[in-house]
Amino acid sequence: MPIYQYKAVNIGGENIEGSYTAKNKNEVIMMLKQNNNYPVSIQEKESKSVLDLKPLSRVKTKDIAIFCRQFYAMLNSGVPIISCLDILRQQVENKKLKQVIAEVYEEVQKGQTFSEALKNHPSIFPQLMVYMIAAGETSGSLDIIMDRLAVHYEKENRINNKIKSAMVYPSILTFVSIAVVIFLLTFVMPTFLGMFEGSGVALPLPTRILLIISNGLKQFWHVLLFIVILSGYGLRRYINSIDGRYNFDRLKLRLPMIKILNQKIITARFSRTLSTLLGSGIPLLQSLENVANAVGNTYAAQGIMEAREDVKKGVDIATPIRKTGLFPPMLDNMINIGEESGTLEEILDKTANFYDDEVDLAIQKMTTLLEPIMIVIMAVIIGFIVIAMILPMFDMLHTVH
């Protein structure tokens, strides 16, 4: 829908101006009159060019966490929802989120509930958040719900940051290794090439292999670059497809080195999300569906949905969760204890906190293992290149003697 820029006068005679998303000018006029304002001018904003080189920033988990935390603080202080949205749309730093909050503010002004307005923007606000806010509106405990959401997304953001931090060192080491190898093959190796060819000495097999690779990089670098870019693009497209994402997520839960880490991340997310939803009054079946969308792994999501079908038939939740084979044995035991004692929400919250710490340890262990493995691989590759360059020198010295 188009965005209209308006100028109006309120009852006190003060000039006001702002923007409003509507189908036409009549909707803008109606909105102004409902708020006891008298329109002076209404103009449609020009849409941004497709070639605009400054796209709006992406909304991250951290932005959602800050939004929920600030919303809770204002609600807890007695500020009405519409005023909270009005304040947030002016002070939020993320451009994309700021624009969406402005649209939510206008939709709530038109008469929609807060949760209905959020539901209109599924690419920004997670389904989990929408359902919980709807439950909070129904029960009259929206401030408590926003506090729980803030805690939930703050912990989720913490896990994401830990994973990203753990991958920084291996990524840098990989990049440096590739850069060093390319430098040796394209700049250092050709220096020795003329000396080897003029010596009349038969080159050893490692040196001949290295010369073929070096010449190939020099003559067909553009072809190789095109193949790498095309392969990367094709792999990304495949991973973003339904089948590709499913197979990639299943692989993450089967590879020996990263299986344990991913299993603990999924367990922490499952426990925390289910605890948050149950504590907010969301029914178990609906909670399990939302949890499946929140774990961040389509293979695990399928297993959770299969467990949900068993729960729908009347089976206790611990049994189908155990059958999925996705989670450590501790989880279904804790769920079983929670169901029997009637404290499932508290038990799941404690389990989530436990696995948050386990994720930290798993990341440290993985990083500790990755460093020496990558250093050894780098040493083997560079060692092979150095040996391939030195071997002909020994043959040349032997021939001279």
Q: How far is CA 204 from CA 215, 273, 339, 386, 392, in A?
A: 17, 61, 71, 13, 7
Give percent of the chain with pLDDT exceeding 90: 16
Mean pLDDT, rounded, for 288-315: 88
Strand-pairing partners, residue 38, are: 9
What's the pLDDT at 49? 38
Indicate whether 14 pLDDT > 80.
Answer: no
In this structure, of 42-46, 51-55, 127-131, 235-239, the range with the lowest mean pLDDT score is 51-55
Domain coordinates of the chain in residue numbers?
3-45, 61-157, 168-400
Q: How far is CA 149 from the centre of its chain?
A: 17
Evaluate whether 224 touches 217 at the Cβ level (below 8 Å): yes
Q: What are the tens digits of pLDDT across the range 174-211?
A: 888 888 888 888 887 777 666 666 666 677 788 888 88
pLDDT grade, residue 101 (50/70/90)? very high
Average pLDDT, the chain: 82
**For residues 2 and 191, what is the distance between their CA atoms, to the nearest angstrom?**
64
Indicate whether 53 pLDDT > 60.
Answer: no
Q: Which helix (H) or strand (E) is 339 found in, with range?
A: helix 329-341
Q: What are the tens digits of pLDDT across the range 356-376?
A: 888 888 888 887 888 788 888
**For residues 47 and 38, what is the distance between their CA atoms, to the nearest angstrom?**
26
Give percent of the chain with pLDDT exceeding 70: 89
Q: Which amino acid is at 296?
A: G
Indicate whether 65 pLDDT > 60.
Answer: yes
**For residues 137 and 143, what is the distance between their CA atoms, to the nearest angstrom?**
9
3-state SS assignment for residue 136: helix
What's the pLDDT at 71? 92
Mean pLDDT, rounded, for 255-270: 87
Q: Spelled out in words, what is the top-level CATH class assigned to the domain 168-400?
A: mainly alpha
Per the model's pLDDT, the better-predicted residue between 142 and 13 turns out to be 142
Q: What is the pTM for the complete model shown?
A: 0.69
What's the pLDDT at 1? 54
168-400 shares the fold of 61-157: yes
Indicate whether 56 pLDDT > 60.
Answer: no
* Helices within 220-297 (DSSP H only): 221-240, 242-252, 256-279, 284-294
**For residues 221 and 214, what is the distance between their CA atoms, to the nearest angstrom?**
10
CATH of domain 61-157: 1.20.81.30
What's the pLDDT at 200? 62
pLDDT grade, residue 58 (50/70/90)? confident
**For residues 360 and 192, what is the distance between their CA atoms, to the nearest angstrom?**
48
**For residues 167 and 70, what is the distance between their CA atoms, to the nearest angstrom?**
31
